[in-house]
Amino acid sequence: MFYCGYRYFCTCFLQRLHKELHAHLNGSVSFSTIKKLVARKPHLNIEHGMTAIRSGQRRTLDECFQVFKVIHQLVDTEEDILMVAKDVIREFAADGVKYLELRSTPRKEKTTGMTKRRYVETVIEAIRQCKNEGVDIEVRFLVAVDRRNGAEVAMETVKLAEDFMLSTDGLVVGLDLSGDPTVGHGRDLLPALQKAKNCGLKLSLHLSEVPSQADESELLLNIPPDRIGHGTYLHPEVGGSQSLVDTVRKHNTPLELCLTSNVKGQTVSSYSQHHFLYWYQMGHPSVICTDDKGVFCTDLSQEYQLAASTFNLSQEDMWTLSQKAIDCTFAPDLKQQLHQKWLELRPTHFVLVK
């Protein structure tokens, strides 16, 4: 049990109502998986402290991206990718996540011979193996464009994503735009993003992660994306603008909100100042996510607990928040099934304890 304002919630309640829509594969690698990877590559001299930001620690965005580079050194073969993806899927399932959208940028490794196509194929194989092994979770994949790699690579990635969308029976559902938000400008990526949307890929775009990106955000919002990652500086109270908010609301574009990630990455000063409340109070579609559960030492249950305790949300509030997230998923074939599962998972014993 944990205390939440004047309410107590059963931990079991918070561990049974999840959908994770913003999870980067390599950033989600847990301590136990890191140990296995380090054992495979002792010559790298990598310690767990180099791959995670513990409780009470904070890092700049640049320092966070340095952590991801360390993890990439550990994950450079198809065997590594398969183990990592399966471990991440199982861990989300163990936390009560019933629907998961993973995202990752395809990587080529000259030293090991791994190609970008084999990278994606290996992630898909991990999803299928977990399904065949009876892991209780539905998983879909978003191929990610790293904005640091420029327009030409972005177009190549879109073509790769389109190929897999057409050949994986619905497992590849969309395209993610991510990477260091201080590098490059979204205008250079517009042709690739528009091509992705035109061919049927859903778009989840990291937007307004740092201040002074209003012009880029306006360009990208007018595509429009199907979901927004973070959106930290969209609203006028933190330097955004009402026109950006109006555009988001006009398209009813859901936001993927990651509390711990934003606080530890110092794009938000504290949990109480998180922009979750701004969007939640106006009733805008918002989905609680982890971003990088391994790097930020969290899980989805913890993120729900933080939202509930910080903003004094009731059990009913949390249930509704989770259920509404079903309509934000990128797998239309599963929405009816997920809604039915949520009805079945709404047991009468989830009551407030006085």
For residue 140, being part of any structural domain is answered with yes
pLDDT for the residue 25: 98
- What is the percent of the chain where pLDDT is above 90? 82
Q: Which segments of 225-350 are extended strands (E)?
A: 227-230, 255-257, 286-288
Is-contact 261 61, C-beta < 8 A?
A: no
Q: pLDDT band at residue 107, thresholds of 50, 70 and 90?
A: very high
Is-contact 8 106, C-beta < 8 A?
A: no
pLDDT for the residue 349: 39
Averaged confidence pLDDT in the chain: 91
Inform me whether the pLDDT recorded for 352 exceeds 80.
Answer: no
How far, in Å, CA of 251 to CA of 226, rounded? Answer: 9
pLDDT for the residue 7: 39
Q: pLDDT band at residue 172, thresholds of 50, 70 and 90?
A: very high
For residue 72, being part of any structural domain is answered with yes
- Among 174, 193, 186, CA closest to 328: 174
What's the predicted TM-score (pTM) here?
0.93
Residue 312's domain comprises 18-341
Q: pLDDT band at residue 347, thresholds of 50, 70 and 90?
A: low
Inform me whether the pLDDT recorded for 350 exceeds 90.
Answer: no
pLDDT for the residue 59: 84
For residue 306, being part of any structural domain is answered with yes
For residue 134, being part of any structural domain is answered with yes
For residue 353, being part of any structural domain is answered with no
Q: pLDDT band at residue 212, thresholds of 50, 70 and 90?
A: confident
pLDDT for the residue 63: 86
Backbone angles phi, psi at 302, to 5 degrees: -65, -40
Inform me whether the pLDDT recorded for 174 exceeds 90.
Answer: yes
pLDDT for the residue 10: 46
Q: Mean pLDDT throughout 318-333?
A: 94
- What is the percent of the chain where pLDDT is above 70? 93
User: For the segment 8-31, what is each residue's pLDDT rounded down to a tens digit?
Assistant: 444 555 555 678 999 999 999 999
pLDDT for the residue 19: 86
- Among 291, 349, 343, CA closest to 315: 349
263: CATH: 3.20.20.140
What's the number of domains the chain is made of? 1
Q: Which segments of the chain are extended strands (E)?
A: 2-4, 7-9, 18-24, 97-104, 138-146, 172-178, 202-207, 227-230, 255-257, 286-288
For residue 3, being part of any structural domain is answered with no
For residue 202, being part of any structural domain is answered with yes
Instruction: Please classify residue 222 by burial: count the beta carbons closer than 10 Å to its beta carbon, then call 0-12 exposed, 13-18 middle and 19+ buried.
Output: exposed
How far, in Å, CA of 106 to CA of 120, rounded? Answer: 6
Q: Which residues are catalytic?
A: 209
For residue 249, being part of any structural domain is answered with yes
